Amino acid sequence: MQREGKGRVLDQFANEDNPRIHFQTTGPEIWADTKGRVTHFVSAMGTTGTITGVGRYLKSQRSGVRIVGAQPAEGSRIPGIRKWPEAYLPKIYDASQVDELVLVSQGDAEDMARRLAREEGLFVGISAAGACWVALQLARQLRDATIVFIVCDRGERYLSTGVFPA
C-alpha cells in the first residue's frame, strides 16, 4: 500500500519518532517529577524507543544517571520485553544509552504482576511487572537512590492467560 501511495508503514522499531517523543516528553516528565534526583531508570525493552529516548534525555541532564534494561531470562516469554539478538536489534536502539541489562524470569514477572494488583491496586501487564521486578532488585542493592520505572502495559491483556487467577 505504501508503494502505491495508499498508506504508510509506521514501523515502531525503525521510526525515529518513537525515541524522539520519549526524549521530548517522557524524559522531561521524569526529570521534573523527581526534581532532577532520578539516579536510575529501568525500562522494559520492547521496541527500545522508551529506553533510548528517555536514556538520551536523562543522560543529557546528568551523565551519571544509570539506564537499565529489563530483558527476559532464557526460556521466558514476556510479551513486551525482548532479548534482541544483535542481528535483529531495532534500528532505533542506541546501546550507548543503556548501562546495564538485567534478566527477569517469566515467573518473577507474573508473580510481580499479581503482587502489584493485590498489594498496590495496580493492574499491570507482565512487561511492566518485569521492569518493576528489576527496579526492586536494584533498590535492594542501592542506598540513597531514586529509581524510576514505567508501567508500559495493562493487565487486562492477560486475563485469559492464567496470570491472574479468577
C-beta separation of 41 from 67 below 8 A: yes
Question: What is the model's pLDDT at position 80?
Answer: 78
C-beta separation of 131 from 43 below 8 A: yes
Best CATH choice for the domain 17-155 from the list 3.40.50.300, 3.30.450.70, 3.40.50.1100, 3.40.50.1460: 3.40.50.1100
pLDDT at 166 over 80: no
Q: What percentage of the chain has pLDDT greater than the value 90? A: 72
How far are the Cα atoms of 1, 4, 75, 91, 106 from residue 11, in angstroms, in the given order? 14, 17, 27, 10, 27
Question: What is the model's pLDDT at position 77?
Answer: 86
**How many CB atoms within 10 Å of residue 9?**
9
**How many CB atoms within 10 Å of residue 21?**
15
Provide the H-helix boundaries in the chain.
Answer: 17-21, 27-33, 49-61, 106-115, 126-141
User: pTM of the predicted model, to two decimals?
Assistant: 0.90
What is the pLDDT confidence band of residue 112, given thresholds at 50, 70 and 90? very high
pLDDT at 33 over 90: yes
Radius of gyration of the chain (CA): 16
Tell me the pLDDT of the chain averaged across its residues.
93
**How many CB atoms within 10 Å of residue 157?**
14
pLDDT tens-digit map of 94-104: 999 999 999 99
C-beta separation of 161 from 127 below 8 A: no
- For range 116-131, the mean pLDDT: 94
C-beta separation of 165 from 159 below 8 A: no
- For range 135-158, the mean pLDDT: 92
